[in-house]
């Protein structure tokens, strides 16, 4: 059993079995459809949400966990560890980071002998997920909380998300478009490329086809890590396994993938990106050395 407990949320988009395998506590986001609220991955599956979105005239909404959701996980974690790290998606795109900070202060009134740290990853999806995963792996290997915090801080500036979709309609309607607003009016046959810089969605351009978008992703990764660079990568998709397979094969051919995952985008994120989204989240393995 590790000395440090790791808590993250469902937006990390980790493969489902990784939470139990690496002893990561998972706090659910919420998805609102009409007047009903569903806990992400508990009350509603990804497939159920995406099926609804394909037919819906009114988009679902997402909501971040509240302090009570985090306190529940903190108290459970305190039963097995005296140090806890909560790894949150970007504070610019969600209120989860603030909710976790409130939960920390409330929990410490009862758990005075427990150290709790909350981290804003300034990222989302598996870029956020990689930080939670490597934190948990380090904890299981015996790392201290300070060691883990230092690791995450090294990962934050070099862990990147690249994503494309058939439309930016969902991001625009959900108010999560950030600095990519000028891409909204592009033609339907244009595939926008987006990423995240310092916690905010940014536009990286647009391509005329999915294959072209994938090739551009590879070029962008190479600009950061060099051609054939050593990386850990995860292809993340929303109900598009074929697109994920194609993108994965291209990334594997282009880089030395020390670890390669394929995983599903969380329901709470799919609300904003829509069905058919596919992307890659990666970081250079040198940051772990």
In terms of domains, do 276 and 166 share one?
A: yes
Q: Is residue 242 part of a domain?
A: yes
In terms of domains, do 107 and 237 share one?
A: no
Average pLDDT over residues 194-217: 91
In terms of domains, do 128 and 213 share one?
A: no
Cβ(99)–Cβ(88) below 8 Å: no
What predicted TM-score, i.e. pTM, was given to this entire model?
A: 0.91
Helix axes 125-140, 145-155, angle to 10 degrees: 150
Domain limit, last residue, from 155, 175, 198: 155
In terms of domains, do 164 and 150 share one?
A: no
In terms of domains, do 253 and 284 share one?
A: yes
Kindly state the percentage of the chain with pLDDT values over 70.
91
Domain count, the chain: 2
Span of 150-154, 160-164, 174-178 with lowest mean pLDDT: 174-178
pLDDT at 170 over 70: no
Report the relative pairing of strands 160-164 and 30-33 from DSSP bridges.
unpaired
Domain limit, last residue, from 155, 186, 221: 155
Backbone angles phi, psi at 67, to 5 degrees: -55, -40
What's the maximum distance between 2 C-alpha atoms anywhere in the chain? 57
Average pLDDT over residues 228-232: 98
pLDDT at 91 over 90: yes
Cβ(5)–Cβ(139) below 8 Å: yes
Domain limit, last residue, from 124, 155, 186: 155
Average pLDDT over residues 174-179: 49
pLDDT at 51 over 80: yes
Residue numbers of the domain that contains 76: 4-29+64-155
What is the band of 54 on the pLDDT scale with cuts at 50, 70, 90? confident
- C-alpha 201/C-alpha 164 separation (Å) is 12
In terms of domains, do 109 and 194 share one?
A: no
In terms of domains, do 151 and 233 share one?
A: no
What is the band of 110 on the pLDDT scale with cuts at 50, 70, 90? very high
- C-alpha 230/C-alpha 212 separation (Å) is 23
Q: Which residue has the higher pLDDT, 94 or 245?
A: 245
What average pLDDT is seen over the chain?
Answer: 90
Tell me: the pLDDT tens digits for 4-32? 999 999 999 999 999 999 999 999 999 99
Q: Is 61 helix (H, G, I), strand (E, B) or coil?
A: strand
Tokens of 67: 């302090």
In terms of domains, do 129 and 233 share one?
A: no
Q: What is the CATH number of the domain that holds 77?
A: 3.40.50.10440
């Amino acid at each position: 059993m590790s000395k440090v407990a790791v808590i993250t949320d469902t937006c990390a988009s980790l493969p489902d079995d990784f939470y139990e395998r690496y002893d990561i506590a998972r706090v659910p986001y919420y998805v609102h459809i009409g007047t009903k609220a569903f806990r992400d991955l508990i009350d509603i599956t990804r497939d159920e949400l995406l099926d609804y979105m394909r037919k819906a005239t009114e988009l679902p909404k997402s909501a971040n966990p509240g302090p009570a959701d985090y306190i529940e996980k903190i108290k459970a974690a305190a039963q097995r560890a005296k140090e806890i790290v909560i790894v949150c998606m970007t504070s610019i795109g969600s209120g989860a980071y603030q909710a976790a900070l409130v939960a920390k202060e409330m929990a410490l009134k009862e758990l005075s002998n427990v150290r709790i740290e909350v981290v804003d990853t300034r990222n989302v999806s598996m870029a956020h997920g990689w930080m939670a995963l490597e934190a948990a792996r380090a904890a299981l290997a015996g790392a201290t909380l300070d060691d883990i915090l230092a690791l995450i801080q090294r990962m934050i500036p070099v862990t990147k998300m690249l994503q494309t979709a058939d439309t930016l309609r969902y991001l625009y309607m959900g108010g999560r478009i950030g600095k990519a607003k000028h891409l909204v009016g592009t033609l339907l046959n244009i595939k926008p490329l987006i990423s995240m810089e310092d916690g905010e969605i940014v536009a990286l351009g647009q391509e005329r086809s999915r294959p072209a978008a994938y090739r551009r992703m590879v070029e962008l990764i190479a600009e950061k890590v060099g051609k054939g660079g050593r990386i850990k990568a995860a292809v993340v998709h929303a109900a598009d396994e074929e697109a994920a397979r194609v993108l994965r094969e291209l990334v594997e051919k282009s880089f030395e993938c020390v670890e390669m995952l394929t995983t599903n985008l969380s329901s709470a994120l799919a609300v904003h990106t829509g069905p058919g989204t596919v992307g890659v989240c990666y970081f250079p393995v040198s940051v772990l050395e």
